[in-house]
Structures are given as C-alpha cells and as structure tokens.
C-alpha cells in the first residue's frame, strides 16, 4: 500500500534536512577554526643555536690589538746593586835610607882620638880645626897624595896640541912608598899627551907620607892624567 506524502510533510522534512545540513556546515567550519587555533598553539618553538667552529692555524689578531701589545711598556729591569769593595789598608814598611857611597875626596868623621902626628898630617892635607873634626879615610888620603905628587911633576901640554882625552898610568909601590915601576895602560890617543905623562911619572922616585896599610892594600894602582879645562 502506497503511502502518499502530503505537501505539509514534505516541507517539514525539507526543513529538517536543511537544518541538519546547516549544522554540518557550521560544525565543519567551527572544527576547522578550532583545529587551526590548536595547531598554531602547538607549533614548535624554534630556538637559534650558534655553532662555534675551531679553525686550525695561526690566528690573526686585529691590527689594533697587535699594535697595543707591541707598544705596551715593559717592566723596568732592576739590576742588582754590587756591594762596594772596601780596600784593605796597606801598611807601608818604613824605608830606611841607605848611606851614599863615599866618593873620592869626601871625608868621614874620626872614630877615635887623633894623635899629634895625625893632626899634623891633617893640617898638611888642608884640614881645618872645628867643633867636630872630620878627616878623610886612609885610602882617600893615600890616593890624593899620589895624585898631588905626580900632577906636581907633570908639565901639561896645551889642550890644542894634546886634546881633552885622558891617559891612564899604572904604578907599583914599595913598602916605603918608592915607585918600583910604571907603564901606560890606556892611551889618550894623542902621542904628545902620552909622552908627557910618562916623563912626569919617571921623574918621581918616591911618594912620601903614604900609610903602611894603604900601601899593603894598593900595591898596584892606576892614575888618570887629563888636561884641565881651566
């Protein structure tokens, strides 16, 4: 049996279907909006991460840093101060002056009381009296006596003919002062001077007033003959 649909029922059914469709559309739209909001809320948070990469090799520093490091002042070097060396005091030994050697013609003080004969000899030799009497030693007296006697017998030639060189004569004495021999030991280089000296020595036979001790010490001695410059 066929049921006939009434126009009123159709309209009611159509409204129901339309409402259902509308609700579906609204629910779809609403669901899409809610899903979009939820997805935006659940979107992953991106955090930036910096990666540091080490590069092998020499690192070139900035120019300003290099210049600053080069120009940086260095700490002053403090040198150790050396301790002053204090010299030790030197103790000088006392210097004692040595007596000067006696020269020919110098005199020495008498170390003993003189006899009358010695005083007479001194006066003959030219000594003078004084507070302290000084006498030449025996050797000096003897040599001066020989020179005085021989030069007294010598006739000096002129300096123009004989020159200024000297001649040396060796003599030998006896115990009593006699001349035993004489000879020329060093020539002056001038024949006139040498011959005059030999003649003077040969003309003397004895040297008086020579002490015995002097003769014993000076059996042979040399005498220089030289032209005086006066």
pLDDT tens digit sequence for 122-134: 665 555 555 444 5
Q: How many residues does the chain have?
A: 230
Q: Is 42's pLDDT higher than 80?
A: no
Q: Which residues pair with 187 in a beta bridge?
A: none
d(CA 88, CA 72): 48
CATH number, position 172: 3.30.1150.10
pTM for the structure as a whole: 0.42
At 108 the pLDDT is 42
CA-CA-CA-CA torsion sign (129, 130, 136, 138): positive
At 16 the pLDDT is 76
In a domain, 168, yes or no: yes
Chain-centre distance for alpha carbon 52: 68
In a domain, 220, yes or no: yes
In a domain, 17, yes or no: no
In a domain, 23, yes or no: no
Give me the mean pLDDT over the 28-47 stretch: 62
In a domain, 208, yes or no: yes
At 98 the pLDDT is 58
Write the CB contacts of 138 (distance below 8 Å, at least 6 apart in sequence).
Answer: 211, 213, 214
d(CA 199, CA 201): 6
Give me the mean pLDDT over the 93-116 stretch: 51
- Better-scored residue on pLDDT, 36 or 22: 22
Report CA-CA distances (Å) from 175 to 9, 73, 171: 209, 104, 13
Q: Is 153's pLDDT higher than 80?
A: yes
For 219, phi then psi, to 5°, come to -60, -40
What's the angle, vertex CA 191, arms to CA 189 and CA 197, rounded to 5? 100
CA-CA-CA-CA torsion sign (129, 131, 136, 142): positive
In a domain, 187, yes or no: yes
Q: Which residues pair with 170 in a beta bridge?
A: 183, 222
At 66 the pLDDT is 45
d(CA 100, CA 119): 27
In a domain, 194, yes or no: yes
Q: Is 179's pLDDT higher than 80?
A: yes
At 22 the pLDDT is 81
Q: Which of 164, 182, 163, 162 is nearest to 172 (CA)?
A: 182
Count up the domains in the chain and report the number: 1
For 80, phi then psi, to 5°, come to -65, 135
As a whole-number percent, the residues of the chain with pLDDT over 70 amount to 50
Domain housing 214: 137-226
In a domain, 167, yes or no: yes
């Amino acid at each position: 049996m066929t049921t006939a649909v009434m126009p009123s029922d159709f309209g009611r059914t159509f409204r129901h279907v339309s409402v259902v469709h509308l609700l579906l559309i609204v629910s779809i739209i609403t669901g899409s909006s809610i899903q979009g909001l939820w997805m935006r809320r659940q979107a992953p948070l991106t955090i930036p991460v910096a990666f540091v990469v080490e590069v092998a090799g020499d690192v070139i520093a900035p120019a300003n840093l290099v210049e600053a490091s080069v120009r940086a002042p260095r700490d002053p070097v403090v040198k150790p101060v050396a301790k002053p060396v204090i010299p030790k005091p030197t103790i000088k030994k006392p210097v004692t002056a040595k007596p000067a050697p006696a020269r020919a013609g110098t005199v020495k003080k008498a170390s003993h009381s003189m006899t009358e004969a010695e005083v007479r000899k001194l006066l003959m030799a030219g000594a003078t009296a004084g507070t302290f009497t000084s006498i030449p030693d025996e050797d000096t007296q003897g040599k001066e006596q020989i020179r005085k006697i021989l030069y007294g017998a010598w006739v000096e030639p002129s300096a123009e003919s004989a020159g200024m060189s000297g001649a040396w004569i060796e003599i030998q004495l006896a115990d009593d002062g006699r001349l035993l021999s004489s000879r020329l030991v060093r020539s002056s280089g001038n024949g006139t001077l040498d011959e005059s000296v030999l003649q003077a020595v040969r003309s003397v036979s004895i040297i008086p007033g020579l002490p015995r001790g002097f003769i014993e010490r000076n059996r042979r001695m040399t005498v220089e003959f030289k032209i005086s410059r006066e």
